[in-house]
Amino acid sequence: MKFTSALLFAAVTANKQQADGSQAQAQQGDAAAAAPAADYGAQQESAPQQESYGAPQQESYGQEGYAAPPVTKCLGSCPPHAPCMDRTTGACSPKAYGMAYQPQYAQSANEYGGQTMQQNGYRVLQSGEGSCPPHTKDTNNDRVTKRWPLWTGFALLFIPALWFLCAMFGDLTDDGAINGSNLSPEEEARFNRDNGGLKRVVAGFICMVASLAYLTMATGHGFITRCCDGRSFYYARYIDWMITTPLMLWELSSLAQDFGIDHTDVHFWWLFFLDILMIAAGLIGSLLCGSEKWVFWGFSVLCFIPILVQLCGWDTEPAGSDGNAAGRAKYKRAMNITVVTWFFYPIVWIFAEGNGNLSANGEAIAYTVLDIIAKSVFGFVCIQELR
């Protein structure tokens, strides 16, 4: 009996020790599983994720060391209050101004004693001209912010156009023919011989087309924003030049022929096609921002040089039987206006559309002055020489 009781006690004791050991191992396993989770949570709290802005994400295509090429962003225009454009991302930001502090004094009443006390303070002022941060560009220089040059160009081209056309209608007779009936007999004969009515119509049409282009630009149209640099490009000017410059060459060719300088129609058509190529090459180059723009500028200049040579050459050619020194002088005045003004157009192009050193406002002023002289003043000279 005692032996049986001893065996039973030993079995119960062994079973209890085995259960305690299993429970201890389970607790150790739970602690080990909880430790990495705690460490991971601590790692997340101690090292927060950092967000990157503006860094392009690159994708690999199964080959080590290969990254997708960066996407070229089309740069638009920034608002006037935030004109600084980042050259890479295209983001707009305001200008940075220097800060100054000015003492400010205020008087207030003491609520306890009723006495007036002075309180000193400072007011923050913005001083100096703002500047754009590094790696940005000021887009205010790339768009026309002053419209008065364009409106001036419209007025000084539209009014002469009306005058030229009114002068033409003043020469209309009762039968509707333009024969200079309001002129003296000598002037009327020369007017009819030189086809003066058509010259006045062409002079008025030149200024009318130019005034329409300036009206378009003055009302905020006729331009695009270049994708590569965000500069405003006024294509309305090139449409104007494509129409008016061949007509100006026709006026000069007719003056040279009427005043005794002998040439054939082939000379005019040669100048006509060179002029069209010259304007088209300048238009293509203005739409580009890379170094290839200078190739088109050079092509335009190569087309321009024969025009200058031909216009100046007519002045040195011997006059016809009905030519005289006065007639050569009249042609020379009109020719000099064209040669001098047209010579400055490619120079303005270099500093405006070319390298961008001339602001959009400066470009508008320069081209407006040249257009007024090259068209309005030229038209007055041509019409005056018809009398």
pLDDT of amino acid 240: 97
What the block records as the tokens of 69 is: 């090429």
Q: Under 8 Å CB-to-CB from 127, ≥6 apart: which residues?
A: 97, 98, 99, 100
pLDDT over threshold 70, residue 353: yes
* Least confident interval from 138-142, 212-216, 254-258, 325-329: 325-329
Of residues 56 and 82, the one with the higher pLDDT is 82
Strand partners, 92: 85
**Cβ pair 321, 261 in contact under 8 A:** no
Q: How far is CA 71 from CA 53, 57, 65, 84, in A?
A: 16, 10, 18, 21
Q: Is the pLDDT of residue 49 over 70?
A: no
* Confidence band for 369, pLDDT divided at 50, 70 and 90: very high
pLDDT of residue 223: 93
pLDDT in tens, 133-173: 877 877 777 888 889 999 999 999 999 999 888 876 665 54
Report the C-alpha gap between 261 and 45 in whole angstroms: 92
First to last CA, the chain: 157
Residue 23 reports pLDDT greater than 50: yes
| Rounded Cα–Cα distance for residues 339 and 140 (Å) | 33
Going from N- to C-terminal start, the domains of the chain cover: 98-136, 138-384
Q: In this structure, what are the phi and psi dihedrals at residue 192, rounded to the nearest 5 degrees?
A: -70, -35
Lookup: tokens for 282: 């300048």
- pLDDT exceeds 80 at position 186: no
Distance CA 251, CA 259 (A): 12
Q: How confident is the model at residue 325 (pLDDT cuts 50, 70, 90)?
A: low
Distances (CA, A) of 198 to 33, 55, 65, 211: 101, 64, 71, 20
138-384 fold: Rhopdopsin 7-helix transmembrane proteins (1.20.1070)
Q: Model's pTM, two decimal places?
A: 0.68
**Structure-token pair, residue 104:** 């400010």
pLDDT number for residue 229: 79
230: amino acid identity, one letter: G
The CA distance from 300 to 288, in Å, is 14
